[in-house]
Chains A and B, each alone.
Chain A
């Protein structure tokens, strides 16, 4: 269970101790309750009757999915792409846009069980007092790292819990070469459990590392397409404000390869650096990616029923009910 410092607005233990501006919050008098005026007995009394809520606001782990799966079948959207392709920043921008009043065209926002997690992502797109923007650090690449971000969305009577699964690009690189790599277990989990995918293509990597970047992207795309079983994929060119810098032949070759691998998946271009504002690359295309996948997932599926024809000689097994004789 989480605990909290008694000093108003002190972020410990999540952040630095406000009183001493250090991580040693446990030595602080406020933390120890000496200065809050509330005795230990009172604190205990308050604790005893408190009921913890099922969600914490932090990213979901796979075991947390049951928090929302009781009310609907959650849709899991896997973020796939190499290191620094912009998976985490894409999610940060999605939340930032909602935060500032942008909406999906057909879906409306009905809350989230991972608000604190979204806020952390969005924090990296905020302009700091010094005028800089410091992007999110690389997502941890250990194979047991899972980070699921939740949105509850509604479209008229339709209700959906959507979970975006983020993971490190390093892990996906390993997975693209060997899906059974023990160091890429989480990538394989994402692959097996997602209902849809956002496949990120890094425009800047293609400019800098040209053919080498392209071959990595194609390898990952092929691995993703290998066992899709009809699950929709949105191909998203990130950092698209710099897409013109990619060599024309590389860009065209990759477009052809991806079209070959994913068939008629829709292709989007997104950027986190809108100019002017609003900018199609950011304000329209970012939410459009999610909306496209949701539409795909809500399309009625063709189910091919195979009628069972009885081949038994036994009258009992051949009995089809009274209507059979009518």
Chain B
């Protein structure tokens, strides 16, 4: 089966999609990448704001919920010309899909047309739940609840549900291991984690059932777990902002490959995704 090279980046609000795309474009423009830009994209509206903010040392803002802009970046990877299509959308749309359990036409198109998915997850934002299976108990009130509560989905279930929705929309069954679409799980804001572990270890620790699901459903060669810090540090202090102004955004940020090795070239993320 032929795999198309259109990449779909999926992620919840504030998972770092726009920051990555802005950094990606800045780098390929400056030739600070193993990937070459063939020509300047015709429309970069989707990320102008983010590029502008980064260059002044500000954190990019969250994309408005109902914004839909497609950013097409014509690039050359190892001699092959590829149009990278980054749909930039409010991450809220991803949440709405899971909450409403419905998928709109635009998303149906995005999902059916792309054979490579990059799922952005910000692990630091996931708080652990304490339950009886992990905390020992001496004294406990075992009174019955009176009302049926509805807690809303945990992050872990949301991520599983999202992949189930996308697979369903793409008409992919789970009975046989999936080879297409290729799946890259990117753990973003890696700097927040303060870890030397491999990305897969972090995912196993933070979202074990989600990893279990992927390992069951996807072919071993069709998915990978990576780390990314597109911004390298939070832009909260004046000092941090100054560093951005001094050293320029295109020199900041790194990615972590499957083996846990750090690489300053964050555009390699796309290269690795294309090699799957």
CA–CA, A122 and B145, complex, Å: 13
Q: What are the residues of chain B within 8 A of A51 when measuring CB–CB? A: 102-105, 108
CA–CA, A175 and B141, complex, Å: 31
A62 adjacent to chain B (CB < 8 Å): no
- Smallest CB separation, B225 vs chain A (Å): 15
Among residues of A, the one whose C-beta sits closest to the C-beta of B149 is A123
A135 and B142: CB pair below 8 A?
A: yes
Q: What are the residues of chain A within 8 A of B215 when measuring CB–CB? A: 108
A182 adjacent to chain B (CB < 8 Å): no
Among B38-46, B151-159, B232-240, B255-263, the stretch in contact with A: B151-159
What total of chain A residues lie within 8 Å of the partner, measured CB to CB?
66
Q: What are the residues of chain A within 8 A of B156 when measuring CB–CB? A: 99
Among B3-11, B28-36, B92-100, the stretch in contact with A: B92-100
Would A133 and B66 be within 8 Å (CB), given that A15-B152, A57-B153, A99-B209 are in contact?
no
Q: What are the residues of chain A within 8 A of B102 when measuring CB–CB? A: 1, 50-53
A136 and B144: CB pair below 8 A?
A: yes
B100 and A115: CB pair below 8 A?
A: no
B216 and A109: CB pair below 8 A?
A: yes
CB 8 Å contact bits of A64-79 with B (1 = contact, 0 = none): 0000000110000000
B141 and A132: CB pair below 8 A?
A: yes
Q: What are the residues of chain B within 8 A of A118 when measuring CB–CB? A: 157
Would A38 and B100 be within 8 Å (CB), given that A53-B165, A96-B131 are in contact?
no
A273 and B174: CB pair below 8 A?
A: no
Would A53 and B101 be within 8 Å (CB), given that A119-B157, A274-B132, A274-B136 are in contact?
yes
CB 8 Å contact bits of B80-116 with A (1 = contact, 0 = none): 0000000000001000100111111110100000000
A101 and B101: CB pair below 8 A?
A: no
Q: What are the residues of chain A within 8 A of B149 when measuring CB–CB? A: 15, 120, 123
CA–CA, A51 and B108, complex, Å: 9
A283 and B133: CB pair below 8 A?
A: yes
Contact of B150 among A2, A14, A50, A154 (CB under 8 A): A14
B133 and A49: CB pair below 8 A?
A: no
Q: What are the residues of chain B within 8 A of A54 when measuring CB–CB? A: 168
A115 and B161: CB pair below 8 A?
A: yes
A267 adjacent to chain B (CB < 8 Å): no
A126 and B129: CB pair below 8 A?
A: yes
B104 and A50: CB pair below 8 A?
A: yes
CA–CA, A126 and B106, complex, Å: 38
A100 and B100: CB pair below 8 A?
A: no
Q: Which of A4, A54, A96, A123 has the most CB of B within 10 A?
A: A123
CA–CA, A205 and B266, complex, Å: 61
CA–CA, A122 and B149, complex, Å: 11
A217 adjacent to chain B (CB < 8 Å): no
Would A120 and B150 be within 8 Å (CB), given that A51-B102, A110-B217, A134-B144 are in contact?
yes
B153 and A116: CB pair below 8 A?
A: yes
Q: What are the residues of chain B within 8 A of A50 when measuring CB–CB? A: 100, 102-105
- Smallest CB separation, B132 vs chain A (Å): 5
B194 adjacent to chain A (CB < 8 Å): no
* B26-74 residues at the A interface, CB under 8 angstroms: 65-66
The DSSP consensus for interface residues of chain A is loop
CA–CA, A114 and B161, complex, Å: 10
Would A115 and B160 be within 8 Å (CB), given that A100-B208, A108-B215 are in contact?
yes
* B146-204 residues at the A interface, CB under 8 angstroms: 146-154, 156-157, 160-161, 164-165, 168, 173-175, 204
Q: What are the residues of chain A within 8 A of B146 when measuring CB–CB? A: 137
A97 and B133: CB pair below 8 A?
A: yes
Among residues of B, the one whose C-beta sits closest to the C-beta of A54 is B168
Q: Which of B132, B141, B168, B217 has the most CB of A within 10 A?
A: B132
Q: What are the residues of chain B within 8 A of A124 when measuring CB–CB? A: 145
B2 adjacent to chain A (CB < 8 Å): no
B143 adjacent to chain A (CB < 8 Å): yes
Q: What are the residues of chain B within 8 A of A108 when measuring CB–CB? A: 212, 215-216
CB 8 Å contact bits of A94-110 with B (1 = contact, 0 = none): 00111111110000111
A266 adjacent to chain B (CB < 8 Å): no
A125 and B66: CB pair below 8 A?
A: no
A125 and B133: CB pair below 8 A?
A: yes
CA–CA, A102 and B208, complex, Å: 8
CA–CA, A32 and B204, complex, Å: 41
* A249-304 residues at the B interface, CB under 8 angstroms: 272-277, 282-283
B140 and A98: CB pair below 8 A?
A: no
B216 and A127: CB pair below 8 A?
A: no
CA–CA, A2 and B102, complex, Å: 10
CA–CA, A273 and B129, complex, Å: 16
A111-B164, A127-B132 known, 9 other contacts, Cβ within 8 Å:
A38-B66, A53-B102, A96-B133, A101-B209, A125-B133, A127-B131, A133-B142, A136-B144, A277-B133
Q: Closest 7 interchain pairs by CB?
A: A101-B208, A49-B105, A108-B216, A50-B102, A115-B157, A50-B104, A123-B151
13 contacts between A and B (CB under 8 A): A14-B150, A15-B150, A54-B168, A93-B132, A101-B209, A101-B212, A111-B213, A116-B153, A119-B154, A126-B131, A127-B135, A138-B144, A276-B136
